[in-house]
Structure 1
Amino acid sequence: MQKALYFMPDISGFTNFVNDTEVEHSIHVIAELLELLLDNSSIDMQLAEIEGDALFMFSTEIPDYSQLLQQTTTMLEQFHRHTKGYETQRICNCGSCRSAINLELKFIIHYGDLAFIKVKKIVKPYGMDVIKIHRLLKNEVPVNEYILFTDSAYNLYKNDTDETWIKKTEPFDLNIMDYFYKNLENIKDSIVLESIDNSTNTIENSIPDLIIEEIFDINIDVLFSYISQLKYRHLWEKGVRRIDYDSDKINQVGTEHTCVLNVGSLKFETITETTSDNLIYGEKTKDLMFAKNYHYFIRFHKIDENTTKIDINIYFEFTSLGTLVKSRILKRMSKIWENKLVHLHRISTNII
């Protein structure tokens, strides 16, 4: 029977969220990370299935030990670069986005027989070796990030392993199973991201050209969700034909979306400001007529559990022609935001 190396990267660390936003964002985060792992697979492996937070992969071309260790190291490094990026780029404060940095990754590797089962047009690996690697997803390894070899995988590479591999024996069902693991927790600590300036430096004047304040009878997190999640934008951004954006991605710093108007379009980029106290959401564009740059920040202030105050600070860097008609532009922009806030109030009182 043909032999194969089975390879399973498995993500852990999310708790059970009940809030709709948290569940949706956890799905997006896991999907991004699984795509990242696939993109960083340097060994020619076939993806048999996506199983929740794990990838089930296999290869009949058996890689050497150094290739295998390099792949797991690269995957783990890129995984933590991505999760650490949420700390500097996220705008959402939901449980999923806050805890993304705490996600962990382990690798389960097994060498065994390759057999398939076919149901309709679906063909997947099948048999005791498939069961064995899945059993080992739940184990008693005392560290959170590691690479685990079953006894058969270890025997395949035993001439290349060193003293950092630790043997464990554990009961599974009615059987006793030996496996070996190598601690990989040091990799996360070695990842240092370059500092990223989340704010915009395109406007020299730090004084807003326009300030709008409003109070809403709605929970701060719910209001922030309506404003920051692009899927809700059509509910209160009534002055555009449609909003084009990637619905498979979480809106964070650097995310772009396009407001398609009756004539032309405006491309916006999500920005924020560094703060430890308040939720802040912002956007910027260079596409606004009469302005070299335009951006705004919305600061959210919790008054009580069901009341939220927002401050909208709007900034322009006018062109020469824009400077001549500045007052008219600001008056028009004030009207535009007034209309947006009317629709946001309707959302908060369920009168849509």
Structure 2
Amino acid sequence: MTQASTAPQVVDWSAAAQIAARLAAPGPQAPRDELDALVGGLRAAAGDAVGHVLETTRMSPGPWGEGGGGALSPVAVVDRATWARANTQSMAVMTDGIGAVVAQVSKSAISPGAQLAGAAEIGAVLALLSGRVLGQFDPYSGPGRLLLVAPNVLQAERALRVPVRDFRLWVCLHEQTHALQFTAAPWLSGHLSGRTRGLVVSMARTSAELAKARFDKKIVMIGRSVFDALRGDGGTIIDGMLTHEQKSELADITAVMALLEGHADVMMDAVGPRVVPSVRRIRARFERRRDGEGRNTFDIVVQKLLGMDAKLAQYRDGAVFVRTVERTVGRDGLNAVWAAPENLPTAREIADARAWVRRVHG
């Protein structure tokens, strides 16, 4: 794991990790042999997915994505608490240096109490999210690693009543596509973290709401804004804190996140029924689950509070962008998006894919 520096942190990330892990629910129970089969099946699916993803996307992983055995990145099958802890570590790396700016603007050192307030906020949210994430590629842990959240995969399999081998491979196709995105475009992780850090620093310097808040409230608000910006979520509580320029920057960060999610969604289905025989049934049932089918009122409220509705919009907006570009210039033309930072779509272009095609392809 890449370590953040010893500069002042806006959040006590160690405490955030402990809080998130402690609050994360363990998930569904199963006999030991079933759990062993789940872990082994996920590892096998992650390996099987690589070749299919490379063939389908027509992307090259680049020199640092060509690991031993054809792997794009290390794979870790984890529980919810481990996923939550891993995310606090990645966020600490991505936000390194922001604490010094906040303290400078506030003309006051960041107290341990204020850091703990931010830790409690982010730890609690990560604990809730830990029950909803099937997998995640983490580009900020050394060369990157793929996390597969075993209890959530098990829970989804049971709820959807789909063939487990197909479902595990389908999930891994999505996550290995994310791994390929970052290995094919090795500048992407630094680009995203730099833009996010720049946005949050700008907010700390200009937000009138922050200026009027008590210092401990500033830290909680900054901590939450860090979390929201890292996830690329618009339409959250931070909207009222942003200037016009900052809203535009957040919208463009959100556009990149939409590209990443939409591209992975399209490619996982494009592999097709030859590889995942029940792919159409899985997609139909999964979309109904995303839309809230079978969820109780509490789950729906939590989903809204976590900004998951905005996240679902990213998947769908990004998928429409990818399909429209492919219909216009083909898959190889789409892959120009990974060539350089300036080729990433803006917020306007995510909604108007042909504008991206005109700008990039002429």
Q: TM-score, normalised by structure 2?
A: 0.24
Considering Cα pairs closer than 8 Å and 6+ residues apart, tell me whether 1 or 2 has the greater RCO: 2
Structure with the higher fraction of residues in helix conformation: 2
